[in-house]
Amino acid sequence: MEANSDRAVTRSARVREEQSGSSAPHRLTSVSERAPSLLRSHDAWALPVEVVGETLGATFSERELIDDHQAWLIALRGRIVVVTVPGLSEEAKKDRIRRLFSEHISHGWAVVTVDSEEWVTFAETFLAEDDPPDTRPKQSEDVRDLYEGSAYAPLHGWRSDEEVIAALRALITDALAGTAEDMPEEAYPLPDGVGASVAIDYDDQGEPHPLVWVRTDISSGLRADLWGYCVALCVTLGRVDVEPDENGIFYVGMERSPVTGPGVALLAAVTVQRMGRRPDDCDFPLLTPPAQTEEAPLLAA
């Protein structure tokens, strides 16, 4: 199945992280047993720019840049320098910096640039050395602490994956008056790469009601993030550029990508976090419908 997404375009092929959630569900782990949470790409968009910059130890300056570039990030030997061109509005300046931070956090690129069309370019290392310096963000602070008191802090504290899944399902059934179900056994084997399915049903008054199914033979963390993505998708279906199949079903893939800007993926990440989980990469692709109708899960209402 061919993947489509609303993620930001880059000039270079994105670095894909391997899918890590194809195994059986993990044992529930309490928050106290978890390692400190580090920055992820969605934090560059959810936290204030100044907070992310301080966490990364970045310094800021303005100067004229070349080749229509409007912002640079250079990471070298433990230092991060962010440069923006003079004259940008405060909103545009913060947007460019957020893009730099999200790309650097995701991949550890040593040089990231953003031009006036918001195209991103990167270099993996700054100097051609046999043993280049580690440019990954070095953090000593638990990022969860940065969200305390913010609009994206957990509503009821940090919780287990299963508790978060239950809360996300409740958003669908209660707040959206929809249906939230595990993928039924008769739907297997699923089309290649499918992690969830979303459809919209309409009642006699024409009111929409989402129908969401998520597979269960994957890790609890991946399931939680998929449920979050499906919640976000249910309220933004009018803005996606993928058509459903003949039964009105949208297929959500399982191949994660970092959040690169506002959209369904960012909404998914902050929704999962509001329910009590630090999300992993939450940009899941929407897949084109299976080529043959009989390949589709039997999920239509």
Which residue, among 166, 162, 194, has the nearest Cα to 180 in the 3D structure? 166
User: Residue 29: its pLDDT value, please?
Assistant: 38
Q: What is the mean pLDDT of each run of 10 residues along the chain (301 residues)?
A: 44 33 37 64 97 95 94 89 96 97 92 93 65 53 91 95 98 96 90 92 90 96 98 90 87 95 96 97 90 50 46
Q: Looking up tokens 């550029």, which residue turns up?
A: 241
For position 35, what pLDDT does the model report? 55
Residue 70 CA to its chain's centroid (Å): 25
Which pLDDT belongs to residue 241?
81
pLDDT tens column, 9-42: 333 333 323 333 333 333 333 343 345 688 999 9
The predicted structure's pLDDT at residue 140: 56
Pull the structure tokens for residue 242: 């993928």
Q: What is the C-alpha separation between 171 and 107, in angstroms, rounded? A: 32
Domain residue spans of the chain: 3-13+153-295, 38-141
Per-residue pLDDT, 77: 77
